[in-house]
Amino acid sequence: SAVISQKPSRDICQRGTSLTIQCQVDSQVTMMFWYRQQPGQSLTLIATANQGSEATYESGFVIDKFPISRPNLTFSTLTVSNMSPEDSSIYLCSVYSGTSGYEQYFGPGTRLTVT
Amino acid sequence: SQQGEEDPQALSIQEGENATMNCSYKTSINNLQWYRQNSGRGLVHLILIRSNEREKHSGRLRVTLDTSKKSSSLLITASRAADTASYFCATDGGDAGGTSYGKLTFGQGTILTVHP
């Protein structure tokens, strides 16, 4: 399975500021996904990031708030812009890997607290 | 909206006992995956079962899938204190090249506590 790292692992930010989260994969992958997990909740897909094209956002998420870059097949960034306390969550990236091609593996997550 | 519903929301058992968690979903799926999450950290992939499979085993894990009832169950046998975690099911509704490909929909999760 793919090995996925994220930076930073955690951060505490002030409202109104922005944070960029990095996701690095140890192999080339076509599709990368960004999820959010609010406190005590399950995971929700934010967007799908394909190399060479604009990210596709899910309902309730917009590019101005969560701009995504995908400069190559092993790297992606998610920016959380103009943060408010409601953005306090764990943000996780994921990729397809595994023998069947359908297993989705997740990075360790970035725990964001907005004060 | 979340597609999956899991029950129970919380499960407390003794070491050595079996733990069963259930997941229900609403629409057709390509596959269903189970994950473990320890203390709000990253998700660990446990097992994937495809829509044309009915049962799958991996070590102490046994997963069943009933597409007619749109439900799945995860059984952990001979549980250990280290199995204490949150467990999530996630459905993947798409085939490669389709618009839903890779978009996992997660259930609300079951918090499992295994007492030594």
State how far the alpha carbon of A29 is from the alpha carbons of A4, A21, B8, B37, in Å.
11, 18, 36, 24
The whole-angstrom separation of Cα B80 and Cα B84 is: 8
Chain A CB within 8 Å of residue B106 CB: yes
Chain B CB within 8 Å of residue A31 CB: yes
Per-residue model confidence as pLDDT tens digits over B30-81: 899 999 999 867 899 999 999 999 999 999 999 999 999 999 999 999 999 9
Chain B CB within 8 Å of residue A102 CB: yes
The whole-angstrom separation of Cα B101 and Cα B108 is: 21
Per-residue model confidence as pLDDT tens digits over A32-53: 999 999 998 999 999 999 888 8
Chain B CB within 8 Å of residue A8 CB: no
- Closest approach of B18 to chain A, Cα-based (Å): 24
Contact call for A33 and B103, based on CB within 8 A: yes
